[in-house]
Structure 1
Amino acid sequence: MAGPGLGSGSLILQVVDECVKYYKYFSEASKMPEKHRYLQIRLQLEQQRFLVFAEEAGLLSTETGSETLSINSTLLQETLSEIKMLFEKFQQANGKYVDIILSDGPGIKLSPQPSMMDLLCATQAPIAKIDISVAPTAKTSLRSNSIFRKIIWKARKLRTIMVEPKRLVWVAFDQKAFTSLIANLEVLNSALISLLHSSRSRRINQAIQTSYQEIIQMKTDLQGLEATIQAITYNTNQEEEDIRSVVTPRRSFTSQSITIETRSNAQRIKYMKELADVKFHRLDIGRSDESTSTPSHRDEAFEYLNITNSFPQECIPRTREIIHMNGEFLWLEPIDYSLENLDKAINDVSCVSHRASLLAKLLSIALPEDFRTPPCRGFIDLRNASPNTPPQPILRLVLKVPIRHDPLEVHIFSLREILSSQPMPSLSLRISLCCQLAECLSNFHAVDWLHKGLRSQNILFFGPDVGCVDLQKPYLTGLELSRPDGRPELTDVAKPNPEADLYRHPLVQGGENADAYRKSFDLYSLGVVLLEVACWSPIESIVGYKVVSGLTGDELRSIKDKILVDKSQAPLDSEVPAKSRCLEVVSAHAGDVFRDIVEILLCANEIESPAYPGEKAALRNRRLREAFAEGVVERLQKMREAL
């Protein structure tokens, strides 16, 4: 196909700018009837698809050599103009623009509502002063550098929206016409995406999926999540069968290519709904906890999850021993809550038991398969009734064996056991395992759920023998330290435990948790696990420790530096640290790309730290998400596909 000339290229970029503005105005329009709010969210989903296409096609850049050069300019311009015309037509019939008054004075103030675009529309003033060097190693600094510059680049491009401080206000609202508008935009966006080369499809799919996850993460209340779930459940064509004005794609588009993209987007939306459902249940459980504040009410709220009476105390099975009960094969997973570490305000047995019930409730819902979490059937609470000792509950989750083979011939093995007893498997198997773990943690973080106990002892496999497990089917446990983000009362403070501290970030080792636990600490733990898988050896062996139980706090906190920097080999007068022997071993066993992945994970806390004074949390969180998505998950997926 012929590429666009200079004149047509400039016109295309101009139309793209107009479309970006219309998407922003419509997605943030005020006086939207509350009962139709879900349609506004549905429009925001199409907004994200359009932005992903524009970025991948090079339409947010004026540089030459972009993907736009391989697209028929006439077809592209016609489609973009069609989108612009749809917005203009609806606005003329239903809305008007009003100026946003930024200073105190007479008139109606219509402050813009927060939206996905707010993350992109950063002011340019502080950007030039930012020192983006965020990690102690060159590779990680460059990687996070490029991710951050990408955000800034898009922000500068889209700043043109802010030079016109106005807001769209609905003076009338035609629900049927707005539904038709969304249907038309959906078809046209599918047509635009189908213009790109097929080699870009996987990248586009991941980018759209990431933007959808960001929408879920931004919803922090039940009402907002309800509207989101309604929006992504909504099917335009089924609800509005009488709409006959859906845009017919131009003759140059093939119906097959549009159908493929439409189906692909339907799968993305389906997965988005699953994540939204999980987050909704998480918030709903937290709300019910707040509304049942007394011990008696708390016990009644989740009484059905306490199945202690099903296990006579004289025959309680050993930890991680598979048993048969009520037609299911189950095992008990310990929850190590210790009353001595609890806040004094909640220091009672009933509250500890209730916290176990909350975790059991969260884990009993139908989590998507990609969470790699065994189904939970409840919990048991065995209390020490001796009058001479304080009550000390022994809490254990009751989990179901998640495989279909005969469980009588299956045993449970942790990754740590396998690392210590089995020969190193092939690189393809190790990469596949690491990819599964990264995707799993990404799903937890997508719904703002922190694991907080990620280590090889809590990664389980099932098989008749330790040498016969399927390394591509890991399951995550260790859920005694797992909690919804922002609900610290659902978790215990990390206790001093050298075997666990090997995997914890130095800031949260040894029970020192003054700083709020963050997602970057989960990523650090994942980095240690991936390091173990790459070298196929426990972390203490990699860093040169023999007896874990005798390690001091200083020795445990030095593990991060031991992995990243070999200070003993650095010249005394040199400001550049020597290469880490640990990372050199990773390169030898799994390649340089995998080494860079481990570096990014271990330096996640630096990536999440403010890049300049006063940087908003939303930008920091987005930077960490992009570093994890692009620098870790996508790279592992590419490696898995290549092997």
Structure 2
Amino acid sequence: MADPVSAAIGAASLGLGAASLAIQIFEGVKTGYGYFQLAANIDKDCESFRIRLLMEYTRMIEWGDAAGLSRVEDHPAFDRKMRAQGALIMAVLGEMNSLLGNLRQIGLQYEAHDLTVSMDKMTVNDGGDKNDSKTSLLGTQAASPVDLSVFNTVLSTASAGKDSKRHMSGFNHIIGLSKGSLTIAKDPRRISWAMRDHNKFKEGLVRLKQLTDYLGGTLRNTQQEILLQTTRETFLGMLQLSTSVAEIKTLLSAVQVAPLPACDDDGASIFSQATTLIGSDEGQGTGQGGRHNEMSMFEKLVRFRAVYAELETVKDIEVLKYTLLKDVEALKIEVEEGGELAARTMGKYQGKIAWVEWKKYREISDGIRDGETIWKAPDVAIENVRRLVALMQRKERPVEFRVPTCLGYVQDLDNSRFGFVYQQENPAAGQTEPKSLLSLLGGDAPSLTVRMRLAQSLATSILYLHAVSWLHKGLRSASVLFFDHELDNPYITGFEYARPDRKDYTATAPPADLEWAIYCHPEYQGPNNMKAFFKKTFDIYAFGIILLEIAYWKPAEEILGFVVDNSKIDPKSKEFPKPRHDPNSLQATRAIRARLIEDEPQLLSQVRILMGDRYHDALKACIEGLSAGIPEGSQADPVVSTLIQQAYLRLVVDKMGGIVV
């Protein structure tokens, strides 16, 4: 068929029944997609086609939400829109319907029965008949019940007015598949995959993507932005639900079938092609470097998640041995006043500015030799350090992670600790030591614009880190570094306690002193904190404390009364005032969350005055935990983790992203 725009030219008046006809064709297109989702006996080499069809289906129904086609109550609004875009919409939907029929002929076989298939008949069924046929996305199913109606109601409060209303049809469909709670109307064994021509099928998928792009172009600018945001949420959800190496590689293959839509903003969308990879040559237009620069952000995330998943399963120690720095003599550490065991020490490596971030480990016995007990680092601790360093060395890491490249690690046997060695990231900044956010707090406050951009950058970085199932575990203002005078260009460090977001993964808890505890969620403090698994919401809580510091431009310990504000000390007084709260009290540090939410609401009210409503709401969401409607203690479950990510997108990233200073 010709270009839909050309097909629309010269179209006759559509009449009053045009909207009704478009709705019927739209339902037919949904049915066409339904055949592929219900088909059985799929080969591995076709799995990426099925996933890409699912991606395009979610894009189409999200367009239907925005256009007013999906719900009966919205049909009058769609009828009005048909006057301007009717011919184009009819042409596109008609071609999509025909194209899906051709793809069925190429890729499926089914018995000649009166078979009715509809995606709408795959409805969420939280109770369900045990005899119902069920399907799940990439084999992932939720281990805990999730009340999607409660969760969706909570997220709807993030919408700002009628024009910003976002539906969640595509996202809910993905979650429903993963919960194994979508009931299939007919026995899927009556339809099966039987691919006859891979190349023609791929060409059809590319055309489907183009047609969905055309549909998006029929919306107003505001609606187009909402469509991009909802599609981003759905696709990030698919990434989160892909847990094995095979599943992630399948998703990557699906993404590579056709380039994802780009946008014109400055990198806020996961579809933006304006971003680069660590170590890629910006001026290189061809070859591998050029290909990397052309990737959408979502493709980069999927690619990096695949690298991460492979490193998690590496058994051959040879693959990881290069993470240990052999030429330790080249590392010249200059011990600072913080003491020999300071968490970060500056130095030089091969003549360039470098720094080392230390992680203590508990020694275990390695036997007795010559009457003396030999102590060593646990093998699992060494393996975890090597995997983490190998990950931070990879050039596939998107720059939006804002994570500096790790050169390798050293082992300090005398002090039972590992050292993660980093080097200057910005050559243009010269050979100057990086400054931490903590060291700048309390000085002259930057402009509101700079502080807002800093907060937005950190919020996006945490989103992407969590999107690849990476928990930081040590977020605090001391781990935010700047290599130049641009405060809106931060780097996140302090990954010595980071780990994958998996239930079966053990790791060391950060130290219990005030400089860590003040950022630590109350559920993860105290002598029994290792009995609780670290959660995404704990990282998000720590980010909330950092947002508090950025708003006040003071250290959290000062804002929260754990140290005395020196500016309020009377130099003539002979008595030195005591802090309002004991910095050595576990009870006091565990009470921080309750103080911010309930006991001392004026602390957050001041944030509203300083930074505005949206910033205040995002900060409060971080502190509260984003977990309404989600079972407690189940965040390692892929489905629940996806819902947390969705809430963080809506209530934090998008809230702050909408701030214009």
Q: 1:313 to 1:208 in 2, by over 3 A?
A: closer
Asked whether 1:524 is paired with 2:541, we answer yes
Q: 1:595 aligns with which of 610, 616, 624?
A: 616
Q: Say whether 1:60 aligns with 2:33.
A: no
Amino acid paired to 2:440: I
Please give the alpha-carbon distance, in whole angstroms, between the structure 1 residues aligned to 2:616 and 2:90.
44
Q: What's 1:417 paired with?
A: 439
Provide Cα deviations, 1:222-270, integer angstroms capped at 9, x if missing partner: 1122222233234599xxxxxxxxxxxxxxxxxx99xxxxx96777963
2:410 is aligned with what amino acid?
A: I
Deviation digits for residues 498-521 of structure 1 (CA, Å, limit 9, x no counterpart): 221111111001351322211111
Question: Is structure 2 residue 459 aligned with structure 1 residue 438?
Answer: yes
The letter of the residue matching 2:657 is Q
Q: Which of 89, 94, 98 is the matching residue for 1:81?
A: 94
| CA deviation string 1:489-538 (max 9, x = no partner) | 46312332222111111100135132221111111111111111112122
Partner of 1:620: 640
Tell me what 1:482 maps to. Answer: 498
> Are 2:404 and 1:382 aligned?
no
Tell me the C-alpha RMSD between the 2 structures.
4.3
Partner residue in 1 for 2:657: 637
Give the letter for the 2:88 counterpart: L
Q: 1:217 aligns with which of 240, 245, 250?
A: 240
Write the letter of the residue equivalent to 1:354. E
Aligned match for 1:304, one of 322, 339, 344: 322
**Distance (Å, rounded) in 2 between the aligned partners of 1:524 and 1:638:** 21
1:169 aligned counterpart, secondary structure: strand
Match of 2:224 in 1: 201
Is the CA contact 1:608–1:623 (under 8 Å) kept in the aligned structure 2?
no
- Hey, what does 2:5 align to over in structure 1? none
Q: 1:472 to 1:184 in 2, by over 3 A?
A: same
Shift of 1:209: 2.6
CA distance in 1, matches of 2:171, 2:380: 48
User: Deviation string for 1:254-294 (max 9, x for gaps)?
Assistant: xx99xxxxx96777963222112221222211111xx35xx
Question: What secondary structure sits across from 1:411 in the alignment?
Answer: coil
Q: Report whether the alignment pairs 1:276 with 2:302.
A: yes
The corresponding residue for 1:358 is 387
- Partners of 2:13 and 2:480 in 1: CA distance: 52
Change (3 A) 1:154 1:473: closer
Greater mean deviation of Cα atoms: 21-30 or 63-72: 63-72
Q: Which runs of 5+ in 1 are unaligned?
A: 135-139, 238-255, 258-262, 293-297, 341-345, 385-391, 464-468, 568-579
The aligned counterpart of 1:550 is 583
| 3-state SS in 2 of match to 1:397 | strand
**Cα distance in 2, alignment partners of residues 555 and 186 from structure 1:** 55
Q: CA deviation at 1:3?
A: 12
Counterpart code for 2:548: L
Distance in structure 2 (CA, Å) of the matches to 1:588 and 1:636: 15
Note the alpha carbon deviations across 1:297-347, whole angstroms, 9 max, x for none: x4x54222211542379856556555443364422122243449xxxxx98
Aligned letter for 1:451?
H
Cα distance change of structure 1 residues 308 and 131 upon mapping to structure 2, 3 Å threshold: closer
Cα displacement (A) at 1:459:
0.7
> Take 1:493 and 1:170, find their aligned partners in 2: how far apart are those partners?
48
CA distance in 2 between partners of 1:41 and 1:193 (Å): 21
Maintained 8 Å contact 2:501/2:636: no
TM-score by length of 2: 0.75
Q: Map of 1:575-590 to 2, 5 A cutoff?
A: 580-590=601-611
**Do structure 1's residue 373 and structure 2's residue 403 form an aligned pair?**
yes
When structure 1 is superposed on structure 2, of 585-594 and 165-174 the one drifting more is 165-174
Given that residues 144 and 627 in structure 1 are in contact (C-alpha distance below 8 angstroms), is that contact kept between their aligned partners in structure 2?
no
Shift of 1:40: 2.5
Decide whether aligned partners of structure 1 residues 598 and 266 sit closer, same or farther in structure 2, where only a CA change above 3 A counts: closer
Kindly indicate whether residue 308 of structure 2 is the aligned counterpart of residue 286 of structure 1.
Answer: no
Aligned positions of 1:220-235 closer than 5 A: 220-235=243-258
Give the deviation of 1:458 after TM superposition. Answer: 0.8
Contact 2:55–2:235, Cα closer than 8 Å, also in 1: yes
Summarize the alignment of residues 306-321 of structure 1 with structure 2, pairs less than 5 Å apart: 306-307=324-325, 309-311=327-329, 318=336, 320=344
Q: Is the 8 A contact 1:3 1:70 kept in 2?
A: no
Pairwise CA distance, 1:443: 0.4
Residue among 42, 48, 55 paired with 2:52: 42
CA contact (8 A) 2:271 2:298 kept: no
Matched residues in 1 for 2:352 and 2:254: separation?
A: 37
TM-score (norm 1): 0.77
Q: Aligned residue pairs: how many? A: 565
Alpha-carbon deviation of 1:457? 1.1
Distance in 2 separating the partners of 1:621 and 1:103: 27
* Contact 1:321/1:411 (8 A) holds in 2: no
Contact 2:377 2:416 in 1 (8 A): no
Structure 1 contact 359–490 (Cα < 8 Å) conserved: no
Alignment partner, residue 571 of structure 2: none
- Is the 2:159–2:165 Cα contact (8 Å) retained in structure 1? yes
CA separation in 2, counterparts of 1:203 and 1:488? 37
CA deviation map 1:451-472 (0-9, x unaligned): 1111111111124xxxxx3110
**In 1: Cα distance, 2:511 partner to 2:42 partner:** 50
Q: Distance in 2 between matches of 1:555 and 1:419?
A: 22
> Any conservation in 2 of the 1:46–1:189 contact (CA below 8 Å)?
yes
CA drift at 1:352: 2.8
Which has the larger displacement, 180-189 or 622-631? 622-631
Q: Which residue of 1 aligns with 2:599?
A: 566
Question: Relative to structure 1, is the Cα distance of residues 69 and 375 closer, same or farther in structure 2, using a 3 angstrom cutoff?
Answer: farther
Q: CA deviation at 1:393?
A: 2.1
Q: Give ranges in structure 2 of 5+ residues lacking alignment.
A: 1-7, 118-127, 265-269, 275-293, 337-341, 365-374, 564-578
Q: Distance in 2 between matches of 1:103 and 1:199?
A: 42
**Secondary structure, counterpart of 1:277 in structure 2:** helix
Asked if the contact 1:378/1:398 (under 8 Å) is kept, the reply is yes
Distance 2:348 2:302 in 1: 34
Q: Relative to structure 1, is the Cα distance of residues 488 and 398 closer, same or farther in structure 2, using a 3 angstrom cutoff? A: farther
Residue 553 of structure 2: aligned partner: 536
1:332 aligns with 2:356: yes
- The amino acid across from 1:220 in the alignment is T
Q: In structure 1, what is the equivalent of residue 283 of structure 2?
A: none
Q: Is the 8 A contact 2:271 2:297 kept in 1?
A: no
Q: Do the aligned partners of 1:330 and 1:398 also contact (CA within 8 Å) in 2?
A: yes
Q: Deviations over 1:467-492 (max 9, x none)?
A: xx311011111101111111764631
Residue number in structure 1 paired with 2:519: 503
Aligned amino acid, residue 451 of structure 2: R
Q: CA deviation at 1:426?
A: 1.5
